[in-house]
Structure 1
Amino acid sequence: MTYTHRSLRLAAATALVFIGLPATTAAADSGQCNFPGDTYKGRPWALQRVLLDELWKQSTGKGVQVAVIDTGVDTKNPQLKRAVDAKKGLNLLPAKNKKGEKIDRGASNGTTDTVGHGTKVAGIIAARPLKGTGVVGLAPAATIIPVKQNDAEGNGTAATLASAITKSVAAGADVINISQDTADAVEPAPALKQAVDAALGAGVVVVASAGNDGLGGNVKKTYPASYPGVLAVASSDRNNERAAFSQSGDFVGIAAPGVDMVTTVPGKGHCADNGTSFSAPYVAAVAALIKSKHEDWTQKQIVAQIQQTAERSTPGHDRLVGWGVVDPVRALTEDDKPIEQPVAHEGVTKGEVPTPAELQLGESAEERNSRMATYVVVGGGVLVASIAGGAVAFRDSKRRARRLGEG
């Protein structure tokens, strides 16, 4: 796809921000989000809620490529080394920043990550199993295409993001994960939407984090999450409710765990982090699982399947968690046929309107027949009693007459 110079200039002026929050000590052994990190020996809560054996009987994501457009993916982490396709990796950071200063871009194929953000995202999607830890990607056989497009200084822009989307499609991505949005929710120039639309048109599932500016009930659109066709992901907590920081809005399509998310970090080991940045890859992994199992399903059908099978407390969509909290197992098992869009009141069939009773001004035919039958029974009983009583009276009268004649 080509863009006008004017569109590129406008897009470049729109900065991008990562959608992560400070790490907590609740889930990581180390208590710090440093890297290389310590190995987390348990199974993270976000994976405990899933019957992984049942899930992986259906699909492991094999054959599906997921582009992680982020800060790069560090392949030194042993759980990501075999998960990343370094040959297809990209580095779209500019050589210099806006001040004209040289930027340390790292590896040209996007396999270095000095921030750690992209490495965390990739681990949630496709970290390979490793002895000694319960941390693993939801789609452990999927392939990650690392696309380095941003850094800690925010040198990524809407223009570089648009380019990253286009190049990811060209590289063969089936799913694209974007865990960043425009600063201050500024709508960028048309170039970014054009790139998103082209990806959707090519059958690629585009997943984006909804944003973390949800405290105080703040509701506003974020980009690229709010573009039509993009699956915008909010964060849920351990109670399957919206995390307090998670962005709300009608554009939210689904929710996924985003609190105390234990995942891979550069070098080795793990770390816990929070934010819709880490909810989006959870959903991107489910999309990869579905795509692997149903190769002929369209991106629209994959998105609808994820939404239709989500856990929700309301019959349909709401602005807090969209269609609900993603349920990976249901998404892979309740899949008899593809659907084009989710529907409310799932599992409830529309009942037939009962036929109203006919208004009777007098007694009905049924009531009349019942009354006549009663009369017949009662009348018959009376007649039998009368005949029997008459016979007894006639017999007694004859006896009296006989006795009088003898006397």
Structure 2
Amino acid sequence: MAPHTATEALGTTPDRPATWALRATFATAAALLTTATVLAPPAAAAPAAGKLPYSDQCAFPNGDYPGRPWSLQRVLLDELWSRSKGKGVRVAVIDTGVDVKNPQLARAVDVKAGRNLLPKNLKDEDGDPIERGNENGTTDTVGHGTKVAGIIAARPLDGTGFVGLAPEATIIPIQQNDAEGHGDTKSLAKAIRYAIQAGAGVINISQDTSNALKPSSDLEKAIDEALARKIVVVASAGNDGLGGNIKETYPASYEGVLAVAASDRNNERASFSQSGEFVGVAAPGVDMISTVPQGGHCSDNGTSFSAPYVAGVAALLKARHPDWTAREIVAQIEQTAERTIAGHDRLVGWGVVDPVRALTEDDRPIESPRPEGGLGKAEAPSPAKFQIGETPDERNTRLATYVTVGAAVLVAGLTGTAVAIRDARKRSRRLAGAGAE
């Protein structure tokens, strides 16, 4: 099989069936091309000289993002983590690998459980060898999988406000794709089955098939096997939504998979985010800060980074309710999402995920969201009544004033009377004394 360039990996390739080609769901093809051709792999990058300043130009390594990203500012983290931090939950990240050289991921990743499923002896279009990476999936020359993992479970670090939503969950790194698009639906199905064996409670897939074609049934069977084991499967909806484009993407469109669209700071669908009836919820996907290989952070856009935001919430729920089924976890996330209309919306699904609400309104499991359940019903203001004379409030205020003034006068009167009586008694005693003399 001939090697594929980064451009070919984004669409149908002449020597590979269209249903087999997978792509990482970057915001644009140019983003992937830039990452593949400009960013040096970790082994070739120069070591950092001291602490690097944060740069908007993504490089590996980069400086630490100093503030709290907007996607986390919308969450009351203390309240969220008082309920769960995801401890004991294993999240499989099926992606381009997870670089554990980033200090926020070093303790978050189960290195021994990782796996590299890329073909061996990879070569580019010129016949030159391509770095395949470590066998445990901890090499990431693209940076995509490292960003995904950070959004889920990055540990706190002094000097940055960025942290994963589930900072005590454990990442299982499964390297299944790369910048050249060597991942296919066969290897994805294999990766899902490996995640099951590795004890995953949640599986994140930030990829979709080229041209939104439905792949072979084996991938769907692998998804069903995961769901049968109560594993929550979260997948990105895709980034072909410009111009209102609507089409199903896979594996996001499979029954039981929680498909995640991207939202912006206004809780509206990001312009690039895929729409459709298959969308379950939306989550922040614009200007997403996360970890990059070798250390530091970068910003990126795409439903690729909305999916792990939801996978992090799923991990929190999984830790809090280990007996809940995958369907119940998904329904809870959908039910508690923020929405402005009753029912499902093809743009943002059941709404924009609300992590705190998902963890606090969880008294009992549900199988499916209720159309009216998460709708915020703001009451319209009552029209002002035309009032002749004083209003009830004004009358109450007037009476209160009378009572206050009357009480003051009464106190003053009583005080004055007491003084007069005292003075009269003194005079009487003086007169009585004078008469005795």
TM-score normalised by structure 1 residue count: 0.80
Partners of 1:255 and 1:274 in 2: CA distance:
14
Note if contact 2:54-2:62 (Cα within 8 Å) is conserved in structure 1.
no
Offset from partner CA, 1:50-107 (integer Å, 9 cap, x none): 0000000000000000000000000000000000000100100001448787542110
Q: What is the letter of the counterpart of residue 92 of structure 2? A: A
Of 100, 108, 115, the residue aligned with 1:83 is 108
Partners of 1:13 and 1:332 in 2: CA distance:
38
Note if contact 2:258-2:279 (Cα within 8 Å) is conserved in structure 1.
yes
Residues 1:266 and 2:293 are matched in the alignment: yes
1:14 alignment partner in structure 2: 20
1:57 alignment partner in structure 2: 82
Partners of 2:374 and 2:217 in 1: CA distance:
40
Note if contact 1:11-1:192 (Cα within 8 Å) is conserved in structure 2.
no
Partners of 1:96 and 1:15 in 2: CA distance:
19
Unaligned regions of 5+ residues in structure 1, if any?
A: 1-8, 349-407
1:128 alignment partner in structure 2: 155
Residues 1:285 and 2:312 are matched in the alignment: yes
1:186 alignment partner in structure 2: 213
Q: How does 1:38-117 map to 2 (within 5 A)?
A: 38-97=63-122, 102-117=129-144
Note if contact 1:33-1:273 (Cα within 8 Å) is conserved in structure 2.
no
Partners of 2:167 and 2:179 in 1: CA distance:
28
Tell me: CA distance 1:92–1:12, structure 2 relative to 1, closer, same or farther (3 Å).
farther
Tell me: CA distance 1:145–1:161, structure 2 relative to 1, closer, same or farther (3 Å).
same
Note if contact 2:338-2:374 (Cα within 8 Å) is conserved in structure 1.
no
Alpha-carbon shift at residue 283 of structure 1 (Å): 0.1
Alpha-carbon shift at residue 151 of structure 1 (Å): 0.6
1:165 alignment partner in structure 2: 192
Note if contact 1:77-1:265 (Cα within 8 Å) is conserved in structure 2.
yes
Alpha-carbon shift at residue 183 of structure 1 (Å): 1.2
Tell me: CA distance 1:271–1:285, structure 2 relative to 1, closer, same or farther (3 Å).
same
2:277 alignment partner in structure 1: 250
Partners of 1:64 and 1:147 in 2: CA distance:
16
Q: What is the letter of the counterpart of residue 62 of structure 1? A: K
Of 164, 175, 184, the residue aligned with 1:137 is 164
Partners of 1:101 and 1:42 in 2: CA distance:
41
Q: What is the letter of the counterpart of residue 330 of structure 1? A: R
Note if contact 2:19-2:210 (Cα within 8 Å) is conserved in structure 1.
no
Residues 1:196 and 2:202 are matched in the alignment: no
Tell me: CA distance 1:347–1:12, structure 2 relative to 1, closer, same or farther (3 Å).
closer
SS at 2:303 equivalent: coil
Note if contact 1:253-1:322 (Cα within 8 Å) is conserved in structure 2.
yes
Structure 1 range deviating more: 42-51 or 28-37: 28-37
Note if contact 1:225-1:232 (Cα within 8 Å) is conserved in structure 2.
yes
Alpha-carbon shift at residue 347 of structure 1 (Å): 6.8
Unaligned regions of 5+ residues in structure 2, if any?
A: 1-14, 33-52, 376-437
Offset from partner CA, 1:165-206 (integer Å, 9 cap, x none): 010011100000000111111211111111111111111100
1:403 alignment partner in structure 2: none
SS at 2:227 equivalent: helix
Offset from partner CA, 1:366-395 (integer Å, 9 cap, x none): xxxxxxxxxxxxxxxxxxxxxxxxxxxxxx
Identity %, equivalent residues: 70
Number of corresponding residues: 337
1:151 alignment partner in structure 2: 178
Note if contact 2:232-2:330 (Cα within 8 Å) is conserved in structure 1.
yes
Structure 1 or 2, whichever has the larger Rg, is 1
Of 315, 322, 335, the residue aligned with 2:342 is 315
TM-score normalised by structure 2 residue count: 0.75
SS at 1:36 equivalent: coil
Tell me: CA distance 1:105–1:30, structure 2 relative to 1, closer, same or farther (3 Å).
same
